[in-house]
Amino acid sequence: MHKGIFPHTKLLCAKEAQLTMLKFHDYHLQKYEVADHGKTVKLFLGFGYPGKETDFSEITFTEVAIYHFVHTAHSIITDIENIPLSSLFEEEKENLQKWNLYYGVDIWKGDIETTVNYLDSNGYKGWYIESAIGFSGFVVAKSVSGT
């Protein structure tokens, strides 16, 4: 799980999110969907209160190389943080090695450094997704877009 210890990350705050057309801060995670054999991940979000019209948002990650979510309860998304792949993979190192051993990880190139170099040279980026409660995870993909 991301612990917010990376000084060189770019946090998509609400102002930046508006500029990039991503609406997520304080939106409720209604569901997420994995399609195209894991190559597309969509977050379906809603922002609303009783008596008010709900504003909906979809965040779509495309050309996904790997993702991992822990979803245990009702969730309100607080941050979608673009993070250097080297930092993400270093933090997730034990998980990635275990997943590769037990399940196989398509993008694994034998070690962290080689894998990160491969992903960087092929245009992949990493994002941590955090919530106030009940959800955390990351996505490594070529792009993210939103409505």
* Structural domain for 20, as ranges: 10-146
Q: Which of 32, 135, 138, 15 is nearest to 76 (CA)?
A: 135
- Answer yes or no: is 61 within a domain: yes
Confidence grade of residue 20 (pLDDT, cut at 50, 70, 90): low
Q: What is the pTM of this model?
A: 0.82
Average pLDDT over residues 88-117: 94
What is the rounded distance in angstroms from the CA atom of residue 32 to the CA atom of residue 55? 17
pLDDT of 116 above 60 = yes
In a domain, 122, yes or no: yes
Question: Does any domain span residue 123?
Answer: yes
Find the mean pLDDT for residues 133-140.
Answer: 94
For the chain, the domain total comes to 1
Inside any domain, residue 85: yes
In a domain, 83, yes or no: yes
Q: Which residue has the higher pLDDT, 58 or 17?
A: 58
Give the model's pLDDT for residue 74.
87
Within-domain flag for 109:
yes
- 2 is a domain residue: no
The answer as to whether 22 is a domain residue is: yes
